[in-house]
C-alpha cells in the first residue's frame, strides 16, 4: 500500500462517511425488499446503485484525481516527491475512487449472492467479473483522458472535466453494449450462432470470450494510464509498448471477419482480404485518434528530421510518436491488402483502387494536423485541423453535390470512378503534397522558445 493510496484512504474513508453509506444502503435494500413491486428487488436496486456510484460517480472521481490536484496547486509538489509512476497511478486511480468502490462493493455483494442463488455460482462469477471490469475500465479511461489533457497542458474547466468523465462513460457504454450483445439470441450473434463468438475461424463461448477480452482491454487501459503517468513525472517511454498494442489490436480485430456481410465475400473478398481490411481500418482509425491526442511537438519533429538526415535511423524509429507508428501500420497493412486484392481480382477492379485512395487521403489528413501545428498553438492547431477535415469531407462536397458537380468529389474522398486508378492517383498527389508542405514548414519553423 503506497503512501498516496494511504493518503486517499484517510481522506475518502472517514468513519462518518462509511457509517452514513451503510445506514442508507441498509434502508434502501430494506425498502426494496418490502415494496412488492415487479422488478423492485434488492438485487435490482443494487445493480442500479452500482452503475450510478461506481460508473457515473466513479468516473467523475477518477477524472478529478490529478486535475483536482492541479486546480488545488498541489500537483507540482507531488510530482517532485519520491513516488514512482506505479505508486502514483494506483494511489490516484484506486485512492480517489475508494469510497465509490466501498459503496459499490456492498452492492456487488448483494448482486452476486442473488445471482448465485437464482442462476448458479458460475453465472454469479461471470457477472462479478463483468461488473468489476466495467467499473475499472470506465474509471481508468476517465483518468487516462485527464492525463492526456494534462500532458497537452490544457486548462481544466468544468466542461473539460466533464469530457474526461464522458470518455470513461463512453467506455462503459461500449462494454455494456457488447456484454448485452452476448445474450443468447442477440442480434449481433444471430448472424452466426446464438451463443458463440467466431474468432479466427474458431467458435468460442460468447460470454467467456468477452470476459477474457474485457480483462485484456482493462490491462491495456491501465498500462496506458501508467505510461501517461510516467510522462507526467518526466520519465521517457519507448515505442515497444505501443508497437505491441498495435500488433495485438490488429490481430484481435482481424479475427472478427465472420461478422462482415456476405456482400464483401461475393465481391471477391475472401477471409484473408477481410482480415487485412479489418486490420487496416483499425490502424487508420487509430491514426486519426492518436494524431488528435498526441501533443505534436515541433521541436521533436525537427529532432526526428535531424536523426534521419544524419543516418541515425534506429534513434529516429525509437523516437516515433504514437500517431506516426499507427500511420505506418495503416500504410503497410493497406499496401498488403492492395497487393493481395490485385492477385485475386482483375486489375480494373475498384476494390484495390479504393483502398489505395483511402490510404492516400489518410496521408493527407495526418499531414494536415502537422501543418496546423506549425502555424498555431497546440489546442488551436488541433481545432483548425478538425475544421479543415470537416470542410474537406462534409461542407465542400455537399456544396459541389448540390451544384451538380458530383464528379469533383473524387478530390476529397475515395470514389469509384473511371479509370479506376484516378482516385488513388489524386489522393496520393494530395497526400504527398501536403506531407511535403508539412516537412518544409517544420524545417523552417523556429522552436517555440525562440518564437517572437
CA distance 323 to 283: 10
Host H or E run for residue 203: strand 202-205
Q: What is the pLDDT of residue 61?
A: 94
pLDDT reading at 348 higher than 80: no
Separation CA 420–CA 5 (nearest Å)? 60
Give the rounded distance of the alpha carbon of 112 from its chain centre: 30
- Residue 353, by phi and psi: left (phi above 0), alpha (psi -120 to 50) or beta? alpha
* pLDDT reported for residue 436: 94
Kindly report the average pLDDT of the chain as a whole number.
87
pTM for this model (two decimals): 0.86
pLDDT tier at 160, thresholds 50, 70, 90: confident
Summarised one tens digit per residue, pLDDT across range 230-259 is 988 888 888 999 999 999 999 999 998 887
Tens digit of each residue's pLDDT (9 = 90 or more) over 44-92: 999 999 999 999 999 999 999 988 888 888 888 888 887 888 899 999 9
Give the separation between CA 219 and CA 215, rounded to whole angstroms.
6
- The dihedrals phi and psi of 136, each to the nearest 5 degrees, come to -65, -45
Residue 324: the pLDDT is 94
The pLDDT assigned to 207 comes to: 82
Residue with cell 487508420: 284
CA distance 282 to 179: 21
pLDDT bucket at 451, cuts 50 / 70 / 90: very low
Please compute the mean of the pLDDT values over residues 375-402 and round it to a whole number. Answer: 84
Half-sphere exposure of 342 (CA within 13 A, CB side): 14
Task: Name the one residue in this structure whose C-alpha cell is 445506514.
Answer: 23
Grade residue 313 by pLDDT with cuts at 50, 70 and 90. confident
- Cα–Cα distance measured from residue 10 to residue 404, given in angstroms and rounded to the nearest whole number: 68
User: Distance (Å, rounded) from C-alpha 452 to C-alpha 448?
Assistant: 9
Q: Are 447 and 302 in contact (CB under 8 A)?
A: yes
Q: Once rounded to an integer, what is the mean pLDDT over residues 422-447?
A: 87
Of the two residues 72 and 446, the one the predictor is more confident about is 72
Q: What is the mean pLDDT of residues 290-319?
A: 86
pLDDT of 109: 94
Task: DSSP for 263-288, please give it.
Answer: HHHHTT--HHHHHHHHHHHHHHHHHH
Percentage, residues of the chain above pLDDT 90: 49
Task: Give the rounded percent of residues in the chain with a pLDDT score beyond 70.
Answer: 90
Strand pairing report for 196-199 and 202-205: antiparallel
| DSSP type of residue 196 | E
pLDDT of residue 314: 87
Residue with cell 489518410: 362
- Distances in whole angstroms, Cα of residue 218 to Cα of each of 130, 141, 144, 214, 289: 11, 9, 12, 6, 19
Give the distance between the most distant pair of CA atoms in the chain. Answer: 77
**Model confidence band, residue 184 (pLDDT cutoffs 50, 70, 90):** low
Question: Who wins on pLDDT, 35 or 9?
Answer: 9
C-alpha–C-alpha distance, residues 129 and 126, integer Å:
5
Give residue 143's pLDDT band: very low, low, confident or very high (50, 70, 90). Answer: very high
- Decide if pLDDT at 447 tops 50: no
Cα 353 to the chain's mean position, in Å?
Answer: 29
**Residue 374, pLDDT above cutoff 80:** no
Element (H, E) at 313: helix 313-318
Report CA 260 to chain centroid distance, whole Å: 22
Amino acid at each position: 500500500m503506497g503512501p498516496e493510496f494511504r493518503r486517499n484512504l484517510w481522506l475518502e474513508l472517514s468513519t462518518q462517511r462509511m457509517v452514513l453509506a451503510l445506514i442508507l444502503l441498509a434502508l434502501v435494500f430494506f425498502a426494496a425488499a418490502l415494496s412488492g413491486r415487479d422488478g423492485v428487488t434488492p438485487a435490482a436496486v443494487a445493480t442500479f446503485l452500482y452503475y450510478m456510484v461506481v460508473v457515473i460517480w466513479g468516473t467523475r472521481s477518477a477524472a478529478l484525481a490529478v486535475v483536482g490536484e492541479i486546480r488545488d496547486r498541489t500537483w507540482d509538489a507531488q510530482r517532485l516527491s519520491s513516488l514512482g509512476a506505479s505508486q502514483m497511478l494506483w494511489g490516484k486511480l484506486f485512492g480517489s475512487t475508494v469510497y465509490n468502490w466501498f459503496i459499490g462493493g456492498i452492492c456487488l455483494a448483494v448482486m452476486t449472492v442473488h445471482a448465485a442463488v437464482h442462476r448458479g455460482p458460475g453465472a454469479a462469477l461471470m457477472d462479478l467479473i463483468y461488473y468489476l471490469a466495467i467499473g475499472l475500465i470506465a474509471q481508468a479511461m476517465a483518468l487516462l483522458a485527464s492525463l492526456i489533457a494534462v500532458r497537452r497542458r490544457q486548462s481544466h474547466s468544468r466542461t473539460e472535466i466533464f469530457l474526461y468523465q464522458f470518455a470513461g462513460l463512453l467506455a462503459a457504454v461500449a462494454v455494456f453494449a457488447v456484454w448485452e450483445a452476448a445474450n443468447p439470441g442477440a442480434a449481433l450473434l444471430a448472424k452466426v450462432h446464438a451463443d458463440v463468438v467466431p474468432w479466427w475461424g474458431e467458435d468460442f463461448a460468447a460470454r467467456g470470450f468477452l470476459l477474457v477480452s474485457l480483462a485484456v482491454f482493462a490491462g491495456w487501459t491501465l498500462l496506458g494510464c501508467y505510461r501517461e503517468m510516467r510522462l507526467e513525472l518526466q520519465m521517457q517511454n519507448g515505442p515497444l509498448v505501443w508497437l505491441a498494442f498495435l500488433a495485438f489490436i490488429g490481430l484481435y480485430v482481424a479475427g472478427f471477419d465472420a461478422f462482415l456481410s456476405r456482400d464483401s465475400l461475393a465481391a471477391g473478398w475472401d477471409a484473408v482480404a477481410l482480415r487485412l481490411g479489418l486490420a487496416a481500418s483499425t490502424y487508420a482509425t487509430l491514426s486519426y485518434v492518436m494524431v488528435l491526442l498526441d501533443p505534436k511537438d515541433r521541436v521533436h519533429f525537427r529532432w526526428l528530421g535531424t536523426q534521419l538526415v544524419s543516418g541515425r535511423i534506429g534513434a529516429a524509429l525509437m523516437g516515433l510518436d504514437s500517431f506516426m507508428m499507427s500511420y505506418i501500420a495503416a500504410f503497410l497493412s493497406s499496401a498488403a491488402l492492395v497487393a493481395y486484392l490485385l492477385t485475386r481480382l482483375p486489375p480494373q477492379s475498384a476494390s484495390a483502387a479504393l483502398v489505395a485512395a483511402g490510404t492516400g487521403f489518410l496521408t493527407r489528413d495526418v499531414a494536415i494536423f502537422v501543418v496546423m501545428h506549425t502555424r498555431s498553438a497546440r489546442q488551436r492547431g488541433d481545432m483548425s485541423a478538425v475544421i479543415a477535415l470537416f470542410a474537406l469531407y462534409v461542407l465542400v462536397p455537399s456544396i459541389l453535390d448540390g451544384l451538380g458537380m458530383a464528379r469533383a468529389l473524387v478530390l476529397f474522398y475515395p470514389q469509384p470512378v473511371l479509370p479506376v486508378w484516378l482516385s488513388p492517383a489524386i489522393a496520393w498527389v494530395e497526400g504527398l503534397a501536403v506531407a511535403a508542405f508539412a516537412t518544409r514548414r517544420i524545417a523552417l519553423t523556429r522552436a517555440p522558445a525562440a518564437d517572437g
